[in-house]
């Protein structure tokens, strides 16, 4: 049965759900098409089919997103990233590994599902209806401790990237080397930023492959923030309170967090977590 399901729906499923005889077979299984494909389930109700699948430990599962970076140096950059993480794990008193990234959010809430009797309606007040204000944050995530530090402003450009580098210098005064893992946003390699970095020799940029956000775990911190604070919030008319809640969320991780490390994949069996293991 399992092997047949792996092959995908075929002629029986096509006959079950196609609108016209020439319609294509569906691309995904449903309880109906599973019942139609296996003759011995012919007399089962849909709930009976569901119980059979449960006995086989079969359930709805999301397909994995195909991740692709066009960077020709992808493998070399990933190898270098793993080496930097492993060095930080081997010498935690001397070497620091930080993931850096920027994110923005708006006054207007992002749509999302919620439990209520009717679909949630936009909750904008007249004073802000035409002003979808945006705020930006630049943050760093310590790969070993889960400590998060950040700066925020209406604009986060090269001035704030430089400001973050100097904050990193202050946060880790005893480190011999501070790896800062970052993406290829043009601001990161702006001449002003590179000039500032030349005066901070302990900070070593580690460049991620192009278009590879899955290699930057702080992206998952932003996802957590969006899920818990920014989606469907009721604060479109109270910008100060919305901003306050964002800072309260991020401040939870000022002293580090094992839970955050698990959430972003720096603990567990993932490749980045394995690079941080010390024999």
DSSP assignment of the chain equals: -HHHHHT---HHHHHHH-SSTTPPPPSS--HHHHHHH-GGGTT--HHHHHHHHHHTT----PPPPPP----TTHHHHHHHHHHHHHHHHH-TTTEEEEEEEEEEEESSPBP----SSSPPPP---GGGTT---EEEEEEEEETTT--EEEEEES--SHHHHHHHHHHHHHH-TT-SEEEEEE---GGGG-HHHHHHHHT-TTEEEEEPPTT-GGG-THHHHHHHHIIIIIBT-S-TT-HHHHHHHHHHHHHTTTT--HHHHHHHTSSSSSHHHHHT---
Work out whether the CA dihedral 107, 112, 116, 119 comes out positive or negative.
positive
Q: Indicate whether 28 and 100 sit together in one domain.
A: no
Q: State residue 112's pLDDT score.
A: 84
Q: Please, which residues bridge with residue 140 across strands?
A: 100, 149
37 is in which domain, residue-wise?
15-63
Q: State residue 126's pLDDT score.
A: 47
Q: Indicate whether 36 and 127 sit together in one domain.
A: no
Tell whether pTM > 0.95: no
In a domain, 173, yes or no: yes
Q: State residue 207's pLDDT score.
A: 98
The number of domains in the chain is 2
Contacts of 53 (CB under 8 A, 6+ apart): 34, 59
Residue 117 CB-half CA count within 13 A: 0
- The pair of structure tokens assigned to 1 is 């049965």
Please report which confidence band the pLDDT of residue 273 belongs to, taking 50, 70 and 90 as the band edges.
very high
- The pair of structure tokens assigned to 245 is 């809640």
In a domain, 2, yes or no: no
Q: Is the pLDDT of residue 158 over 60?
A: yes
Q: Is the pLDDT of residue 123 over 70?
A: no
Q: State residue 115's pLDDT score.
A: 80
Q: Is the pLDDT of residue 145 over 60?
A: yes
Tens digit of pLDDT for each residue in 241-268? Answer: 999 999 999 999 999 999 999 999 999 9
Q: Indicate whether 119 and 148 sit together in one domain.
A: yes
**CATH, residue 200:** 3.30.420.10
Q: Indicate whether 143 and 224 sit together in one domain.
A: yes
């Amino acid at each position: 049965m399992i092997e047949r399901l792996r092959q995908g729906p075929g002629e029986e499923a096509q006959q079950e759900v196609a609108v016209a005889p020439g319609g294509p077979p569906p691309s995904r299984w449903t309880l109906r098409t599973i019942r139609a494909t296996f003759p011995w389930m012919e007399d089962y109700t849909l709930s009976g089919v569901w119980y059979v699948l449960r006995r086989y430990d079969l359930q709805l599962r999301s397909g994995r997103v195909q991740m692709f970076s066009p960077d020709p140096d992808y493998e070399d950059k990933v190898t270098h990233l793993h080496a930097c993480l492993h060095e930080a794990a081997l010498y935690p008193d001397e070497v620091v590994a930080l993931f850096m990234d920027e994110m923005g959010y708006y006054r207007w809430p992002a749509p999302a599902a919620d439990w209520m009797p009717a679909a949630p309606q936009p909750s904008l007040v007249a004073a802000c209806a035409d002003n979808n204000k945006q705020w930006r944050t630049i943050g760093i995530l310590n790969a070993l401790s889960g400590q998060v530090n950040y700066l925020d402003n209406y604009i986060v450009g090269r001035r704030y990237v430089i400001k973050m580098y100097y904050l990193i210098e202050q946060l880790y005064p005893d480190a011999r080397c501070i790896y800062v893992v970052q993406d290829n946003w043009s601001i990161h390699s702006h001449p002003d930023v590179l000039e500032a970095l030349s005066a901070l020799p302990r900070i070593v940029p580690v460049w991620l492959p192009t278009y590879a956000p899955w290699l930057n775990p702080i992206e998952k911190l932003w996802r957590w923030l969006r899920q818990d604070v920014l989606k469907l919030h009721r604060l479109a008319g109270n910008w100060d309170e919305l901003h306050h809640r964002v800072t309260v969320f991020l401040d939870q991780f000022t002293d580090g967090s094992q839970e955050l490390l698990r959430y972003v994949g720096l603990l567990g069996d993932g490749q980045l977590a394995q690079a941080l293991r010390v024999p």
